[in-house]
Each structure stands twice: as structure tokens, then as C-alpha cells.
């Protein structure tokens, strides 16, 4: 078996892994190695050829490939090393080893001082949400269709129904239309949009694609290839109203019904997984419950903006470097992070407070949409941060920043309230 030694090993060369690598290098780690299963770096951004990336970070609108190129330019400049076409089979959290395949070297063991998990997420499927009917050709997750179209130049169908109003679904509605397909409609179970409002405007409204809120697909039809779907409105319990079912002809169905952090390696490594996010439990250093194993990006929780992923991953990279160098601040006190009113989950899940000044940004999602609200953080019952928002909704991540050293109690709570 081939052996490689490094300071920080990063599993995954997508936006999270790239940002973590740059940051680890900039924070003093000497040898930083990215292990990537694809034949090139960039991860899912390679197939995101549409613009809309980087508005927060670079104050300009970039395509996916343009966005990650800014990072690969940096990794090249800083001398970050990488192994491509290498599938990680196992992360040994105890010995800080990563075992991966590589066609050139054979099975390869990477021994590191710290490890960053940046495997991203996968798409929820038709079967996960149990859509009944037949199993013909022509059923794709939005992301696989996007890969076929944007990376393999292959069209998947001509007449399309899309289930789910997530960002990928809406972006694919536009993409399919631009490629000459007829997108019959986008069907959304909830009575509000799942993705970003700007995507509804730019991808559906601008192309006259109907959005059916509070509807679902009740059956897939077709024996060899999809011949159509049955759709129906849903009642307040999200149950389809059978009497109002109607048939919609199509040859393709795209599913954009949610993303799941991909944590098979994390679980096998014995790292604690948070039940709400399906990602590893992390502290403000993005360190998991296994010392020296960090995690960032969509493997921790699913983000809507890559800009946030980059920011969070820089945190992971920085502290992974500090861990490798032995300079990571010792924990003086543990503080729990708790969800308050209209908060579904928070990330990080806990704070390991040391004796150094640290601003900690807590990212979170709300449970339901609301207008004119105040986001606030409470230290015990003392308000330590607040922020006004005109509108919050589950599709768009919220954040609030607190001063870690000033926390006096053992738990901080984040809540969304109607008034200050």
C-alpha cells in the first residue's frame, strides 16, 4: 500500500474542501492534501454553469466554474497538493488516517495530523419521498440531469415536470427550457417556495413556467419511458386530495426534493451525527466529536449559498491547521447552543470556549416564513446580539454573530421574534 504523510488531509475537493485547504495553508499548515474522487477539483460547482455565485463574497456574479477557479488559483499558488480520482473508503479518526483508492498508486493511506471532512451532500430521491407508480426510464434527480446536460452534453428529455421548488429544481427548469425542452410545471408540496426567491423570478417567472404550490405528484406512469404523472393539490396535512387528481403528460420527471449531507464515512468513523442536520455535531472551530477531525460545508448542514460554505470552511481550515500545529486554544468552558422560537437548527451545535477573543457566527434555518422579525441570541436570559430582518424563510439561511468570550452562562439560545 502506498503511504502519504501530511499535516492536514481534506476529504473532498469541492467548494468546502478548496476553501478549507486555502485557509489551512494560510494559517501555517505546511503540507495540505486534498483527496478528491472526481477527475478534477471544483465538486458540484463544475456542473453549475449558471451565474449567481459569489455575490456576498466577491461582490460580483460568477458562474460555478468561475467561483471555484478563484480558489483553485489560490490552492495552486499556495502549493496545496491533491490526489484526484481517489475514493476515500475509510476515515480512521483514532489514528488520523484516510484510506483511499487510486488507479495509479493502488490503495493509498494518507496519515495526517488533522483531517477536514468536506464530502458535501447528495440528493433526496423519488424513492426517499415514496412517490408511487411505475419505474420507467426518465426519472432523474435534478442534479444528475444537470450533470448529464452540463458536463456530458446530453439532454435527458423533451417534456418535463419538476417536483420540488428547491434551487436546483428551478435552475434546471430554466436550463431545460434553454435547451429546447418544454417544462410543463414545477410542483411544490409546501405552500411556499423551497428555494431562493431570486431563482423563482429568474428561472420560472421569466420563462413563464407555472409553479404549483401545495401540490404533489401522486403517481408516475409509463412502462418503458415516463408517459406522464398524476398531480393533485394537498390538504393542510399534506395529504393529496384524490378527487382533484389530474394527469399531466411528460416524458421526464426531475426531482428536486432536498439534499442530505453525505456522512457514510463520518458515521463509520464513529463521529456523532446531529439528528436534525444529518451532519456531524461540530463546535465553533468546526471540530467534530473526534478530536482533530473537522468538517465543513454541506456535509455538516445543507447551505443555500456557496459563499457561506466558503466562509464556514475557512473556519474549519484555520483550526485544522492550528490543531496540526498544536496551537488550537484549550477549551475552558463548554456552552450549549439551543434553538428558540422559530429556529429549526443551529450550526455550530456547541461552543468550546477558550481564553482567546473569538467572534462566532451561528448559522440557522427557521421553521416557517415570517416578515418583520428580530433575530436574537440570549446568554441565559440576557440578550447578547440582535439583528432585524424584513423576511425570513426556511429556504434562506440566517446568521447571527456573538462574542464567545463574553458568554457567561452555560447555554445560549437563538430565537426569531416579532419585536425587539
Binding site for another protein (CB under 8 A): 1, 37, 85-87, 89, 99, 101-104, 106-107, 122-123, 125-128, 130, 132-138, 140-141, 143-144, 147-149, 151-158, 179-180, 218-221, 223-225, 240, 251, 262, 264, 267
| Nearest in space to 414 (alpha carbons), one of 336, 343, 334, 350 | 343
CB of 177 to another protein, least distance (A): 12
- Give the Cα separation of 127 and 131 in Å (integer): 6
DSSP string for 78-136: HT-EEE-S--EEEEETTTTEEEE--TTT-SEEEEEEEEEE---EEE--TTTTT--B---
The count of other CB atoms within 10 Å of the CB of residue 129 is: 15
Cis peptide before 348 (omega within 30 of 0): yes
Comparison of 173 and 360: residue with beta carbon closer to another protein: 173
CB of 125 to another protein, least distance (A): 5
Q: In 3-state terms, what secondary structure has residue 71?
A: helix
- Give the Cα separation of 58 and 246 in Å (integer): 46
Question: Which is it for strands 382-392 and 370-379: parallel, antiparallel or unpaired?
Answer: antiparallel
Comparison of 125 and 289: residue with beta carbon closer to another protein: 125
CB of 213 to another protein, least distance (A): 21
- Give the Cα separation of 218 and 378 in Å (integer): 44
DSSP string for 303-346: -S-HHHHHHHHHHHHHHHHHHHHT-PPPP-EEEEEEE-TT--EE
CB of 35 to another protein, least distance (A): 12
Comparison of 98 and 324: residue with beta carbon closer to another protein: 98
CB of 167 to another protein, least distance (A): 16
| Nearest in space to 377 (alpha carbons), one of 417, 410, 412 | 412
Cβ distance 8 to 24 under 8 Å? yes
CB of 148 to another protein, least distance (A): 5
Q: State the helix-helix crossing angle for 167-178 and 142-150, rounded to 10 degrees.
A: 40
Comparison of 132 and 270: residue with beta carbon closer to another protein: 132
Q: State the helix-helix crossing angle for 64-78 and 306-325, rounded to 10 degrees.
A: 20
Comparison of 232 and 353: residue with beta carbon closer to another protein: 232
CB of 153 to another protein, least distance (A): 5
> Which residues, other chains included, contact 36 with Cβ-Cβ below 8 Å and sequence gap of 6+?
12, 13, 17, 43, 82, 83, 84, 85, 86
Cβ distance 247 to 277 under 8 Å? no
CB of 214 to another protein, least distance (A): 18
Comparison of 24 and 161: residue with beta carbon closer to another protein: 161
Comparison of 180 and 326: residue with beta carbon closer to another protein: 180
Comparison of 65 and 369: residue with beta carbon closer to another protein: 65
Comparison of 59 and 275: residue with beta carbon closer to another protein: 275
CB of 139 to another protein, least distance (A): 9
Amino acid at each position: 500500500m502506498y503511504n502519504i504523510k501530511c499535516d492536514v488531509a481534506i476529504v473532498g475537493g469541492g467548494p468546502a474542501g478548496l476553501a478549507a485547504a486555502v485557509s489551512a495553508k494560510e494559517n501555517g499548515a505546511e503540507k495540505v492534501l486534498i483527496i478528491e474522487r472526481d477527475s478534477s477539483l471544483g465538486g458540484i460547482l463544475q456542473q453549475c454553469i449558471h451565474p449567481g455565485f459569489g455575490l456576498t463574497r466577491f461582490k460580483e456574479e460568477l458562474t460555478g466554474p468561475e467561483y471555484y477557479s478563484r480558489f483553485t488559483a489560490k490552492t495552486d499558488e499556495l502549493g496545496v497538493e491533491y490526489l484526484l480520482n481517489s475514493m476515500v473508503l475509510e476515515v480512521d479518526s483514532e489514528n488520523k488516517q484516510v484510506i483511499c483508492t487510486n488507479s495509479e498508486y493502488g490503495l493509498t493511506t494518507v496519515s495526517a495530523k488533522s483531517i477536514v471532512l468536506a464530502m458535501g451532500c447528495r440528493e433526496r430521491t423519488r424513492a426517499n419521498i415514496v412517490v408511487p407508480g411505475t419505474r420507467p426510464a426518465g426519472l432523474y434527480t435534478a442534479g444528475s440531469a444537470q450533470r448529464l446536460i452540463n458536463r456530458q452534453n446530453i439532454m435527458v428529455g423533451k417534456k418535463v415536470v419538476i417536483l420540488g421548488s428547491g434551487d436546483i429544481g428551478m435552475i434546471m427548469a430554466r436550463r431545460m427550457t434553454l435547451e429546447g425542452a418544454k417544462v410543463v410545471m414545477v410542483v411544490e408540496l409546501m405552500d411556499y417556495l423551497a428555494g431562493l426567491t431570486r431563482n423563482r423570478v429568474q428561472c420560472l417567472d421569466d420563462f413563464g413556467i407555472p409553479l404549483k404550490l401545495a401540490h404533489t405528484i401522486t403517481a408516475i406512469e409509463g412502462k418503458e419511458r415516463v408517459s406522464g404523472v398524476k398531480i393533485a393539490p394537498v390538504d393542510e396535512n399534506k395529504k393529496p386530495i384524490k378527487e382533484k387528481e389530474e394527469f399531466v403528460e411528460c416524458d421526464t420527471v426531475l426531482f428536486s426534493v432536498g439534499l442530505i449531507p453525505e456522512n457514510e464515512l463520518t458515521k463509520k468513523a464513529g463521529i456523532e451525527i446531529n439528528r436534525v442536520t444529518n451532519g456531524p455535531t461540530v463546535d465553533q472551530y468546526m471540530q467534530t466529536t473526534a478530536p482533530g477531525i473537522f468538517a465543513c460545508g454541506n456535509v455538516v448542514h445543507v447551505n443555500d449559498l456557496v459563499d457561506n460554505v466558503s466562509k464556514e470552511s475557512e473556519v474549519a481550515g484555520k483550526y485544522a491547521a492550528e490543531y496540526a500545529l498544536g496551537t488550537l486554544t484549550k477549551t475552558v468552558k463548554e456552552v450549549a447552543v439551543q434553538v428558540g422560537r422559530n429556529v429549526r437548527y443551529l450550526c455550530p451545535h456547541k461552543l468550546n470556549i477558550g481564553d482567546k477573543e473569538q467572534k462566532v457566527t451561528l448559522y440557522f434555518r427557521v421553521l416557517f416564513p415570517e416578515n418583520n422579525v428580530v433575530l436574537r441570541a440570549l446568554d441565559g436570559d440576557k440578550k447578547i446580539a440582535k439583528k432585524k430582518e424584513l423576511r425570513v424563510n426556511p429556504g434562506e439561511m440566517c446568521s447571527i454573530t456573538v462574542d464567545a468570550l463574553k458568554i457567561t452562562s452555560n447555554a445560549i439560545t437563538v430565537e426569531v421574534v416579532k419585536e425587539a
